[in-house]
Structure 1
Amino acid sequence: MQKNKTFFILSLGVMLGVFISIGGSVLAELNKPAAESESEALPFEELRTFTEIFGRIKRDYVEPVSDKKLLEDAVRGMLSGLDPHSAYLVPEEYQELKEGTTGQFGGLGIEVTMENGFIKVVSPIDDTPAQRAGLKTGDLIIRLDDKPVKGMSLVEAVKTMRGEPGSKIDLTVVREGEEAPLKFTLTRDVIKVKSVKSKLLEKGYGYVRISSFQSGTGESLLESLAQLKKENAGAMKGLVLDLRNNPGGVLNAAVEVSDAFLKSGLIVYTKGRIENSEMRFTAAGDDLLNGAPMVVLINAGSASASEIVAGALQDQKRAIIMGEKSFGKGSVQTILPTSSGAAVKLTTARYYTPSGRSIQAEGIEPDIALASVKLASLEKPEFVPVKEADLSHHLENGKKKGEKTETPKTPDEKAKAEESLEINDYPIFEALSLLKGLAIMKH
């Protein structure tokens, strides 16, 4: 009994020492008055409860538990209780996070968050197993293989979804509008994200798709715009910037993308409690499109950095925002490495658009709302016209048996053969039509 009592007192002393150190650090960061006593700043009663529970687990739990695991779990609990985006990252998870911002990592290619204890799909990333399998924004993942997601932390769920390329995982998903859960089998792959893709929709009208914001996205955008301008004798009539299902990423990349289309003015600013969370970003360069009309496409999967770009271009009257209301992730996460090689991902500020709108839990409202629909060709009519070749005893054309005659394609057949994304994708089709109207009004 005396041994247990001694252990508890020692534990209490060690833990109080740790928390007094932490409390002192927090006080310094928040610039509390020096006169404020530690007894007022530190919750001694709660810390006493913590150390008591720590001691009981060490003594009474059915299996031995290491101090390291208990303390790591306590830190995870502290952070996960704050918001869905704050987390404790062990060294391996910290390394994976760094790899994700550079554009290459292993896994399924899916951006997720926590909602009511389940994993919610923010967006599948282009050209990845998740997108190819048909996962959609808003899907709730309730099982990973045979493991229920309920009770898992976001970090644990992400770690489970990652694995060796070529290995398979089953995702059980609840989707709005579906009566029963859906099951998807995905094959893990090395995810190499090319964040910027571009092409011409028509002569003078360009299309740029940004699937995520990585450290090299700004530079890739400049290269894409230069190529589009080169293909149009140095001038552009209009541009569609596609940010649909873009889960966000690096803040500086979002600033660089916005800056490419703005001559001056505020892009985004952040506000938090600590001094270095107050940041303002303004446009410094020239508009690379020289004022040519722009349409930005967003949807419910457009989050974080993509909302910064859409909000800046909307507030600065530089682009028309078209599509659906965006996701609404307007918080800033700061990565704070620890001496052990781990890191803390902590929410430290909120984003605000140039006009002072908070993106958090609100999102960006499009200027022109579009329903989530897709253009489709009319089905083949039941009545098929009768041709000469269908008539009994029709006259042959004189060519030898087996010989084929190449028939020139009609204009309609050529158009059908060249049919591509801008026709099959309704929002792009509408954006292109709007750009043409704006170009006519401008000239």
Structure 2
Amino acid sequence: MASLALAARPLNTPYRSGSNAKVNDGDESEEGELVVLLIIVVAICGALVGLGVLFLLVYVCTSIARRIRWWIFGVDEDGVSEGMRSRLLPDEDSRQSYELARAFERQYPYGSIDTQLTSEQQTQIREKGVDAWEFVVNLDVNAMLQSKTEVLFMGGENCVQTNLPLPKANSVYYFEVKLVEKPADVNMWIGLATKPYPAWRMTGWNKYSAGYCVNNGSVHQNSPFKSAHIGEQLFVGDILGIGYQPRSGVVWFSRNGRRYKAIVSGMLYDLFPTISADGPCSFSANFGQRGFVFIEANVKRWGFGPVEGSIAPPPIYGANQNTILLETAAPSSEDDNDDDDEADDERSEVDASNSNSHQLGMPTDSIAINIPEGAIPVGAPHDTPRSNRRRQTGSRRPPLYQKNDPIAAQLLEAGETSLEPVVSYRNKQPDLLSSPRSSSTSAEPASL
């Protein structure tokens, strides 16, 4: 029967089994899935390109509108018209400072100088800890660095920054500034800014900066004309805290341990603690080297670094037991023997002088000893060792001037000294008129 079925089938008709039919259906389904996937990818790419083109159009239109607004209405990039700017900058000095600051921004845009922490700076932080941060006072700043974190402004418009930026490893970093001295008519701004920053501008008045005005509690960000009142006025002794979240670019402030709710956003830069003033004042900063007034910062350790680095701090004053310096300075046995020899020689000198005084019939407490160079005292035994003899012949005398000494020659020409002074060791002037004591009288020890 199978042979009959095969014979009945036409020769030009292809034979398909059930398994082959199923394989062909699978190929068609895979081709359909590839087509659908390709359509999805093309749609996504088209949407991204469309968004990019739209963003570019918006940016170009905004720039053109800004230029048109500047040409027609005189409004600058801060959104301030010419008339408002003239009212906010009443005198020539303020206008000149504003123009120089804008020129500084064009010359040094953000990113023109690499301000990220280098490997050497990170090593310095590991070694010193939080002590690695300190303020830098440039030559064009009228200020004096009293310590690493204490600065005294001495008049004029000045701005100082730290040597290192804020790290970005942790989620929050925090520091505090205490007002030590500040007259009421002096304005002061405390905050964060990028580097380089104009040394004559207040913090928050230029781009990429935010500063808290101590005098009225307002915050300036990237502009001297726009501000937001978020806090209160600070006085001498108050402490302003600045917190920074590097992952979100949020900056917030606190006063005497109480945090304000208002924040400053968009500060995704390499920021440095920056403090400025327009008059004489002084402040002290705390980067974590001591406890914060803001308790949460102490609990969560929001300081710039560890209090102690890998280098051990110096020993506490007074704790000098078992130190290397004392072990090095400890006298050896030879030095002890030399000291004993010197003491014996000194006693022998005293005994010799007492004996001479008895022989001469002079009181021992008023003897005057004039020992010339290289001479042996009268009455000294001839068998005195050479070392003792050298000690007796003026070992404790001050050095004489030499004739070839240029300083001595100048003094000799000025007539103010002599080349060969006589050195006398005496306590009292001898009383030559007094009756001499007998040799049998007990001698008192002569004090040299």
Q: TM-score range by the shorter chain?
A: under 0.3
**Higher strand residue share:** 1
Of structures 1 and 2, the larger Rg is shown by 2
- TM-score, with length taken from structure 2: 0.21
